[in-house]
Structure 1
């Protein structure tokens, strides 16, 4: 795969993507012809898989390390705090996704020459460039809400001879002037699928997007098929991911003190047989966290760090001031505190029990149906057995 001056590291990445089937034969030419490096700024913050930290790298002072990170299967942050921040530690607000995630989502999109694609979230422009290379300049329209990010992406796409249409606007509005599209792909995480999107995709077309609940930052890729009357779209989830959220749909959280101005005083106290591993599983992408979020609406979970053999996990109601805390201990039952109109821990424990009773289903067994009037319903195995989310 050593074409177009590819580095050895990028050749290794290409072989790895092919072996893992993240990169299919249909997208191989695009991978080889459209280098990720051409779409990244001089200063980036690469996620180091060994340390779990964002590493700042400047191409002007350390081009070798910069190129090495760029040609790995790691996410790379390109902007902090909507352009106001310059260092890690704030909120990452624009990035280049892992190449494996990019190509798996493109495979989910199932776009072919002759399709017209609307992309929500231009970012660096690499994803748009890959699609343009394969589908043609007139086939891809990309929307970016940040004017500086959009301008930079246009420049990079133009330099590669891949500039199609890049619009600067709120992606939640879509592109009514350019409809209909046969495919829509979002590279921003969603908490609600904007209803107008359904009317901008042809009957039978696909919407591919990272979708999740406010329970956690995690998402799962959902693949929605638009109905013949465009009144609804429905489909299964495919795999876990985590994307920066559509700006209009970021979680609003007033902070811990707004819920507990007087500490734990007055809360109901109990214990639980649920263990730390039973609740949290193996990490941030454990499917039980996703499943609980589907069953417990308007709730935000915050696992705190373990300290001296104790670990609290907090739950905050986003529609009122209900809260709960489960404190896990080494060697004994966990303590539970709950306060407010909702018994949040009871809801969470019930959702966990439901997931276990259903055989601990994976992401691919869950699905989502959305309607043109904004209703969202999740389901397990079949849309006939759905509940509101």
Structure 2
């Protein structure tokens, strides 16, 4: 069974998109050198899979429902081993078709895609809507040029632009739909100007703390937007919105742990806060905070929490067989207390999944909510 029929059989691909997926197969848009991943987004292959050297493995990866990384470290990495940070990929086909379903396009609609990548998603849109109705923007000139070559070979010609996808596009008018194929931490203000009232913005959105989901926002007449998250996701972050994570020394300020931290104990296991949905629910509430884990040979670890302004930090120690866990907190924010309060709010609400959360976007910022825009989430930090 080919990839398109398999996606149809699984229910991910709808019948109206089937002719397009059969006409625009994925293999036409996959580079010859790839690092296959897995459904959660992580890269599995330690070494490159080359079409020239191992065509069977290449074809197997291309026809699998997995993401395929083809660029590391913004193009700086060379060689056959994995680089440090994956920076461009062919997305997991199930996610591609699901986001296109979220986009809900009709004949004659104009679509702006942010993140050209291999060009496959732009090709699918161009085949469905016509070349003249699709504009795709890519920050990496080399990635864009390679995608242009693939699109031409496939007989498709959407408009390709090299530039910052978060900065807006002049002289192109408004679009009916905007789809991002990279993750964002915040909705860029120009997007709400580029999409007509009544139009949709579909994008993966991840919190500073962790966790990510696709948000589907309807743009209103007043220039605001509101909508629900539709599913979990794990995309590469838009380059212009990547976070800079300060080192530990920026927090301890020359002192040794526990420095001036205050000790306490908690019954909430740090391990219970680490799933993707846990991180997402916490991150929607606890702003300006991220975490790292310091792991030890015996399997125990310390969960470190940091404020992005370097003013506050906290640690929570996990050890097997413990029912209480030592916490140390320092700074004007009590970060573990914030994380625990956010987790307990989510737990008391019945541990809602991604699809029950929503977002309202205004010029003043983002307001997350549960089930209804009036039911806003508690907020900590900035």
Q: Distance in 2 between matches of 1:64 and 1:377?
A: 48
- Residue 349 (1) aligns with residue 340 (2): yes
Q: 5 Å matches for 1:19-30?
A: 19-30=9-20
- Residue 329 (1) aligns with residue 329 (2): no
- Residue 225 (1) aligns with residue 237 (2): no
Gapped regions of structure 1 (runs ≥ 5): 1-7
Aligned to 2:239: 247
- Residue 156 (1) aligns with residue 150 (2): yes
- How many residue pairs end up in the alignment? 372
CA-to-partner distance for each residue in 1:101-134, whole Å, 9 max, x for gaps? 0000000000121111000000110000011111
Aligned to 1:302: 292
Aligned to 1:176: 170
Out of 117, 135, 140, the residue aligned to residue 123 of structure 1 is 117
CA-to-partner distance for each residue in 1:135-164, whole Å, 9 max, x for gaps? 111111000011101111111101101121
Q: CA deviation at 1:322?
A: 0.9
Q: CA deviation at 1:48?
A: 5.3
- Residue 75 (1) aligns with residue 64 (2): no
Aligned to 2:263: 269
* Change in CA separation of 1:138 and 1:52 when aligned onto 2, cut-off 3 Å: closer
Query: What secondary structure is seen at the aligned counterpart in 2 of 1:26?
Result: coil
- Residue 236 (1) aligns with residue 228 (2): yes
Out of 65, 87, 98, the residue aligned to residue 93 of structure 1 is 87
Q: CA deviation at 1:178?
A: 1.3
Q: Distance in 2 between matches of 1:306 and 1:106?
A: 43
Structure 1 stretches of at least 4 aligned residues deviating more than 4 Å after TM superposition: 48-52
Aligned to 1:58: 50
TM-score (norm 2): 0.93
> Would you say the 8 A contact 1:194–1:374 is kept in 2?
no
- Residue 135 (1) aligns with residue 129 (2): yes
Q: Distance in 1 between matches of 2:218 and 2:296?
A: 43
Backbone CA RMSD of aligned residues: 1.8
Gapped regions of structure 2 (runs ≥ 5): none
> Would you say the 8 A contact 1:222–1:236 is kept in 2?
yes
- Residue 108 (1) aligns with residue 98 (2): no
Aligned to 1:39: 29
> Would you say the 8 A contact 1:133–1:162 is kept in 2?
yes
Q: CA deviation at 1:52?
A: 6.1
> Would you say the 8 A contact 2:43–2:69 is kept in 1?
no
- Residue 145 (1) aligns with residue 136 (2): no
Query: What secondary structure is seen at the aligned counterpart in 1 of 2:346?
Result: helix
Q: Distance in 2 between matches of 1:303 and 1:349?
A: 17
Q: Distance in 2 between matches of 1:211 and 1:300?
A: 16
Out of 370, 373, 379, the residue aligned to residue 383 of structure 1 is 373
